[in-house]
């Protein structure tokens, strides 16, 4: 029998780790533990980096950091693609109308429906706004823009 240098509990001679306090009892075990801790630290750093960073939306993979990709159903993918098409389409059309006042709500609406914008709403609110809310915003801005274009 030997005793753990850290906690003095008696250990099997073959023991690589102390059963009481977990202290490594051999050089190999110490190295192994060290590597394990470093791997864990890297993992944690990578995870927190992925969650905290990338909020500028420039990378274009919206939402997939909050929702694992495998949980995105076909319908959600389709919705997301639709939002991009509608958003960019609206902005492009609105830009051609720019001297007119109605173009500006259209641009805002187009921006609001882009999926990265929805992801940004998660930062102050804790979780992203519902798609329906963003679509509603788009509808309000679009109607406002069209109304202004027609009336003015």
Binding residues for Zn ion (CB under 5 A): 4, 6-7, 18, 20-21, 23
The smaller minimum CB distance to Zn ion, of residues 33 and 72, is found at 33
The smaller minimum CB distance to Zn ion, of residues 9 and 69, is found at 9
CB of 8 to Zn ion, least distance (A): 7
Q: List C-alpha distances in Å: 124 to 45, 55, 113, 141.
A: 23, 12, 18, 22
Characterise 68 by phi-psi region: left (phi > 0), alpha (psi -120 to 50), beta (else).
beta
The smaller minimum CB distance to Zn ion, of residues 7 and 139, is found at 7
Residue 51, C-beta contacts closer than 8 angstroms, at least 6 positions apart: 65
CB of 6 to Zn ion, least distance (A): 5
CB of 24 to Zn ion, least distance (A): 10
């Amino acid at each position: 029998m030997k005793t753990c240098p850290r906690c003095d509990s008696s250990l099997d001679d073959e023991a690589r780790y102390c059963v009481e306090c977990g202290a490594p009892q051999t050089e190999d075990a110490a190295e192994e533990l060290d590597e394990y801790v470093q791997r864990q630290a890297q993992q944690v750093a990578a995870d927190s980096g992925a969650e905290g960073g990338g909020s500028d939306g420039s990378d274009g993979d919206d939402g997939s950091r909050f929702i694992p990709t495998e949980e995105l159903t076909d319908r959600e993918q389709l919705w997301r693609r639709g939002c991009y098409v509608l958003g960019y389409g609206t902005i492009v059309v609105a830009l051609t109308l720019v001297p007119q006042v109605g173009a500006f709500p259209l641009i805002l609406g187009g921006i609001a429906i882009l999926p990265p914008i929805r992801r940004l709403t998660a930062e102050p609110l804790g979780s992203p706004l519902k798609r329906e809310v963003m679509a509603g915003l788009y509808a309000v801005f679009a109607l406002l823009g069209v109304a202004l274009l027609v009336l003015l």
